[in-house]
Structure 1
Amino acid sequence: MRLSSIFTPICICVGVVSRVLAVTTNGTNMVYGFDSIPTSPDLQWVPCFDDFTCANLEVPIDYEDPTLGTTSIAFIKLRGENATDDAQSILINPGGPGGSGVDMLLTYRANAGPIFGSQYNAISFDPRGVNNSGLVFDCFAGNSAAKTALVRLHTPGRVNASTESIINQYYSATILGEWCDVAVRENSPYGYYVTTPAVVRDMITFIEAEAESIGKPKADAKLWFYGLSYGTIIGTTFASQFPDRVGRMILDGVVDVEQYYTNTWRDNVVQDDEMVNSFAKFCYQAGPNNCLFWGPSAENITNRLDRIMLQLEQEPIPLSGLDTGKLPTLVTVSDLKGYILSAGYEPLVYFPLLADTLVNVERGNVSTLAGVVESFGQFPDADNIIRCADTYTRNKLVTLDAYREYVEFTTSKSRYVGDIYPTSNDIVTCRGFHHNLPDSMTFQGPLPPTSNGTAFPILFASNTIDPITPIVGARKMAEGFPGSVVLTQEAVGHTVANQGGSPCYFNYLHAYLAGTMPPPHVTCPIDRVPFIDGGVMAVVEGT
């Protein structure tokens, strides 16, 4: 599933600048890209990007078959302002799949201290197959025309189980897999060895290498981890496979891991209409000076939105492009629904933009909506490669009947985005891949993941309304890990951190890191309100 918004690219692509040469300043060799950093089985941190240190960690391609050779994992560290030489490090994954932790930490460097505490080091990484790490490959081998053609063919907008759109999307779903299979066969024989269980093993290698670097036994190494969105899949997989290695683990915006590994995304739409209703409520409460789509009641706002949707459904609007120099396009209700879905990722930023867009549409200007549906296909190949490799042995969405039932389910659960959701997450694509992966690359544990007890309990976190990973996922995952707690933040949007959290939330987070679990059933009161408070620069998924 895609766990990122069309508004925010998954990666800023620091890898693009990895060819920049190292620069010597005041006797220090400062590097600005991972190509300048040696790969080593030991953590050899070198100064990088002015305020950081970086390392390329050598890891086996397959931990059960060393004859396949090794690959490299890019790590980046921001030393805490008050951190000692042996300070605890917190490893962060921003989500995805395909999200770059390197880019995230470079972008949000100022937030690590306030969120975690200045006594800790913040470390992130690009998982295998992502950006600066090894096993990255391009399914289309640079053939952008072919990729663009597939996007237009395979992203029809709304998918209705009773029309040919579902048939077209189902059968076109095999094309991406065919291109990726050929790329692996011809150019990257281990390109599919990028699964979440392999990433978990890489994290074990990292914490052991870090322990050794400060003179501690490898066997005593514990993982301190903050995972967002897809990062919660990494976290629960880790905790299931290596429960005795959990030092601290905060999982924010929790994915139902059982549905992830079986490719049966069903619960992810259950709070989408709540999100839309909250847009109307917050707009009304903010008043006409703060919300341009304001009306005399929340019901009035919702009714006007409904009329706009009906009008676009009955009368799509053609844009010739003659006045803008852009290509001709047709703005449909699918574009509006896609825009609404993406606004739910970060309402503090995007609810005001959605309000502005709706006002413009009422006035006949639909340019903001042009190309929204097509943008769903503009994600890096790593997103599909990792998701589909993870479902290799358990994919339940392989037949047309199964896909039809899935579409009927999502449509029944959300009248605003239920019929656009299958196009957005595009999980049917996985039926076209032929991975032939060894057991060492696939998750072998029970579903949902469980443990008899982790070395330290897990802290699950969720907003009261998360339209991408609803709170039911946090509650379900917590049941599998005795002693864990779900900490709830009153807010709307995807992940607590991405909405700015609250003093209450971060106080509990700091106490947890210090060794004190929050009491059960805590809900922190809302701190930042859409239309009133602006967006925040917080630790966010790249998904």
Structure 2
Amino acid sequence: MRNWQRRAALSQSCSEVLLARDGNDSTGEVLGEHLNTVPVARDMLEIIERHAEWREKQGLKRQQEEDKATGYHAEQKIAVRTRWDRGQEKLLYWGRSYGTVLGATFATMFPDRISRMLLDGVVDTDHYYDGGGESSITDADAIFHRFFHYCDVVGLEKCPFYMKGGPSEIREAYKGIESGLRAKSMPVAASSNHGPEVITWSDLKLIQRISVYQPLLTFPLLAKLLADLKRGDGSSMAAFKQGLRPVTCLSEECIGTGSWSQQCTGFETSEDSSSQAILCSDAIYTNTFDLDEFEGIWNGFVADSKSIGDYWASVYLTCVGWQPRAKWRVNGPYAGNTSHPLMLVSTTLDPVTPLKSAKKMSSRFNGSIVLEQSSEGHTTGSGPSVCSAKAIRKYFQTGQLPETGTLCYSDFEPLIDTPQETALIHNMSSTSDRRLYEAMLQDTFTFGFPAGLVT
């Protein structure tokens, strides 16, 4: 009840600001009517046209310099290559997670304006906008259960939470920690690494959620945290928890005008609020249920996934009491006969955008294919695969799609391997492949991962 009321108060506050009319605006429109995905898709079309306009100007300038330096060339190759094809420019796009909603929306609205479109970690766009359909979180528990398997495989050397009884004993030990924290939080005294803290059940669920999104990077951390908690030591969890909190230094303007003034609004706050606004404006069904209905939704999510069901319910909870309504919407089905086939990619087990969603959305866009990457985690950014990266590179460079049914394997498995190992890079004969792999590692270390945990 308290969380419901807290979210309702926040939504009401945001709604009042976003629906306030500016007396100096002759259109009579308000910001809250334009915070959904469809206007952004239209903005993308405008961006590629304006970029092409700039490109043509730069090309003409470069052509003139070339003609002046070497004499006039009738072919005018630079000018021809950079010419602006007015009203016909096409999009190059790589979208991940919510970015696949934006991509599918663009492809539905402007199917003839696509040069290349890669959708990675594909959202069921019909479900996103309109609700209904199959749950998107049914693979999350399977990913978390892989932790017990991998821990058993590598043993105590790489998994401090290892136990001789196999995956089932490791799983039971985890359940004991979770039920213990649910019944009673753990106080932790301050140390040189962290301040005083209280470790709660919610803290454990947070690291669990991060781990199913990014198992390759997070399973080792999870193993250490669990091993310490099992011994009754919450120090490492306290340091983890406090490391996620952004350090904020208040400006003089903020101090002078008050904590809740516009001058105290930082980027982090704006980013979280904008994500909430987009979701709640796109998916109207998320702000139409009452408390009793929400409890049923919550229970359904927990039944779908013990790992992240509570978190998924909290995502819906952000929209309670949301009032703005988008002025421009596009109704489904989200589909199209695109000017170039789309390429969709998915891991075998994704906690929130399952492989089945990629296959469904592929069936909506003529000629598209799904490349499956045999790994766990959210999008291919959760684990490097040279095979996947080469297929993606070829698609963007040549337009060629992989064969239907292509399966790429990840180059690492959680706990068993570490991405920092350089042996694979050194064994690559191609400089291009080495650079590609290094870029993939950087992507893995940064995409969708809390900044405080990236080393």
The alignment's TM-score, normalised by the length of structure 2, stands at 0.73
How far apart in 1 are the matches of 2:133 and 2:89? 34
Q: 1:405 aligned to 296, 300, 303, which one?
A: 296
Q: Structure 2 vs 1, CA of residues 323 and 489 (structure 1 numbering), >3 Å: closer, same or farther?
A: closer
Q: 1:314 aligned to 183, 200, 210, which one?
A: 183
**3-state SS of paired residue (2:136):** helix
> Counterpart of 1:211 in structure 2: which amino acid?
A
What is the CA distance between 1:363 and its match in structure 2?
1.4
What is the CA distance between 1:395 and its match in structure 2?
4.1
Q: Structure 2 vs 1, CA of residues 509 and 403 (structure 1 numbering), >3 Å: closer, same or farther?
A: same
Query: Which residue in the other structure is 1:537 paired with?
Result: 442
Query: Which residue in the other structure is 1:512 paired with?
Result: 395
Q: 2:89 aligned to 208, 214, 221, which one?
A: 221
> Counterpart of 2:404 in structure 1: which amino acid?
P
> Counterpart of 1:184 in structure 2: which amino acid?
L
How far apart in 1 are the matches of 2:115 and 2:316? 33
1:161-193 Cα offsets, whole Å, 9 max, x none, are: xxxxxx333343311111212333559842552
Aligned residue pairs total 367
Query: Which residue in the other structure is 2:305 paired with?
Result: 414
1:325-377 Cα offsets, whole Å, 9 max, x none, are: 74653x23232122101122222211111111001101112244459699799
Q: Does 1:284 align with 2:152?
A: yes
Q: Structure 2 vs 1, CA of residues 517 and 495 (structure 1 numbering), >3 Å: closer, same or farther?
A: same
Give the superposed CA RMSD: 2.9
What is the CA distance between 1:396 and its match in structure 2?
6.5
Query: Which residue in the other structure is 2:211 paired with?
Result: 343
What is the CA distance between 1:541 and its match in structure 2?
4.6
Q: Is the 8 A contact 1:412 1:418 kept in 2?
A: yes
Query: Which residue in the other structure is 2:35 paired with?
Result: 194
Q: Does 1:455 align with 2:356?
A: no
What is the CA distance between 1:385 and its match in structure 2?
1.4
How far apart in 2 are the matches of 1:471 and 1:366? 36
Q: Does 1:487 align with 2:371?
A: yes
Unmatched 5+ residue regions in structure 2?
Answer: 23-29, 57-82, 247-267, 421-440, 450-455
> Counterpart of 1:217 in structure 2: which amino acid?
D
Query: Which residue in the other structure is 1:90 paired with?
Result: none
What is the CA distance between 1:407 and its match in structure 2?
1.0
The alignment's TM-score, normalised by the length of structure 1, stands at 0.62
**3-state SS of paired residue (1:173):** helix
What is the CA distance between 1:194 and its match in structure 2?
2.8
Q: Is the 8 A contact 1:240 1:445 kept in 2?
A: no
**3-state SS of paired residue (1:268):** coil
How far apart in 2 are the matches of 1:420 and 1:180? 22
Q: Does 1:301 align with 2:170?
A: yes
> Counterpart of 2:45 in structure 1: which amino acid?
I
What is the CA distance between 1:237 and its match in structure 2?
0.5
**3-state SS of paired residue (1:520):** coil
Unmatched 5+ residue regions in structure 1?
Answer: 1-166
How far apart in 1 are the matches of 2:288 and 2:323? 14
Q: Please identify which structure carries the higher helix content.
A: 2
Q: Is the 8 A contact 1:228 1:541 kept in 2?
A: no
What is the CA distance between 1:412 and its match in structure 2?
1.0
What is the CA distance between 1:521 and its match in structure 2?
1.8
Query: Which residue in the other structure is 1:437 paired with?
Result: 326
Q: Structure 2 vs 1, CA of residues 303 and 351 (structure 1 numbering), >3 Å: closer, same or farther?
A: same
How far apart in 1 are the matches of 2:389 and 2:316? 34
> Counterpart of 1:431 in structure 2: which amino acid?
V
What is the CA distance between 1:245 and its match in structure 2?
0.8
What is the CA distance between 1:460 and its match in structure 2?
0.8
1:301-334 Cα offsets, whole Å, 9 max, x none, are: 22221222222223322346599874653x2323
Q: Structure 2 vs 1, CA of residues 262 and 195 (structure 1 numbering), >3 Å: closer, same or farther?
A: same
1:492-533 Cα offsets, whole Å, 9 max, x none, are: 111102322x12112221232212221222211231122212
Q: Is the 8 A contact 1:261 1:395 kept in 2?
A: no
Q: Please identify which structure carries the higher strand content.
A: 1
What is the CA distance between 1:235 and its match in structure 2?
0.5
How far apart in 2 are the matches of 1:367 and 1:480? 50
Query: Which residue in the other structure is 2:261 paired with?
Result: none
> Counterpart of 2:141 in structure 1: which amino acid?
D
What is the CA distance between 1:228 and its match in structure 2?
0.8
Query: Which residue in the other structure is 1:381 paired with?
Result: 273
Mapping for residues 38-437 of structure 1, pairs under 5 Å: 167-185=1-19, 189-190=30-31, 192-212=33-53, 213-214=55-56, 215-262=83-130, 267-296=135-164, 297-319=166-188, 326=195, 329=198, 331-370=199-238, 380-392=272-284, 394-395=285-286, 397-423=288-314, 426-437=315-326
User: Which segment is superposed worse, 225-234 or 397-406?
Assistant: 397-406
How far apart in 1 are the matches of 2:133 and 2:237? 26
Q: Is the 8 A contact 1:192 1:386 kept in 2?
A: no
What is the CA distance between 1:220 and its match in structure 2?
2.4
How far apart in 2 are the matches of 1:266 and 1:372? 33
How far apart in 2 are the matches of 1:268 and 1:184? 30
How far apart in 2 are the matches of 1:339 and 1:395? 26
Query: Which residue in the other structure is 1:22 paired with?
Result: none
Q: Is the 8 A contact 1:398 1:428 kept in 2?
A: no
How far apart in 1 are the matches of 2:295 and 2:237? 27
Q: Structure 2 vs 1, CA of residues 402 and 369 (structure 1 numbering), >3 Å: closer, same or farther?
A: farther
**3-state SS of paired residue (1:494):** coil
What is the CA distance between 1:247 and its match in structure 2?
1.1
Q: Is the 8 A contact 1:200 1:234 kept in 2?
A: yes
